[in-house]
Amino acid sequence: SSLIMPVRGLHDIIKDDIREKKVDINDEQDEDEDGHVNLENLSYLGSLKILWSRKIFIYTMLAISSLFFVVTGIQFWISDYFRTELDVDKETVYICFTIVSVTAPVLGVLIGGFVVSKFGGYTGKHALKLCIGFGSAATLFGLPFPAVNNFTVALILLWLVLF
């Protein structure tokens, strides 16, 4: 099984939901004899109604937004933090941060994908538990970070958070 899930467009999501009758649409929509809705006539609000009714989309969007917020903050501030608060020279900070920021996410995706595949994949019954577990572990590794005054320990915690 592939580690990368294909990305589907909003149009495909809406079409699948209408076809599977998961979401009610307005009665004024044009349907053909097979019960298919002409998506060209689907209003913007109708599209939003279908999209917001998909809880997996909402939760995934919130999780990815949170992830990008944290990772962007780390990438922007961590080198200054190491240099000013932990008094580490610039070259050491840049080399170590480059190693951590490349190896941790790549290994996290590979190992995480392998683990998720072993437990039934992204649509399996254990997928949500695994996501909560991975997210909780990252949070636990990040909590002691502000109290750490050792560069090596900070790098290890950073690697575990980005993993």
DSSP string, 23-65: S---TTS-B-TTS-B-GGG--HHHHHHHHHT-HHHHHHHHHHH
Q: Is the dihedral of CA 38, 40, 41, 43 positive or negative?
A: positive
- Whether the CB-CB separation of 51 and 57 falls below 8 Å is answered with yes
pLDDT given for residue 46 in this prediction: 77
Which pTM was predicted? Answer: 0.64
pLDDT given for residue 14 in this prediction: 57
Q: Is the dihedral of CA 135, 137, 138, 142 positive or negative?
A: positive
Q: Could you tell me how many residues make up the chain?
A: 163
Task: List per-residue pLDDT tens for the chain, 163 residues long.
Answer: 333 444 445 556 556 655 655 555 444 444 556 655 566 667 778 778 878 888 888 888 888 898 889 888 888 899 999 999 999 999 999 999 999 999 999 999 899 888 888 888 777 778 878 888 888 998 899 999 889 999 999 999 999 999 8
pLDDT given for residue 7 in this prediction: 43
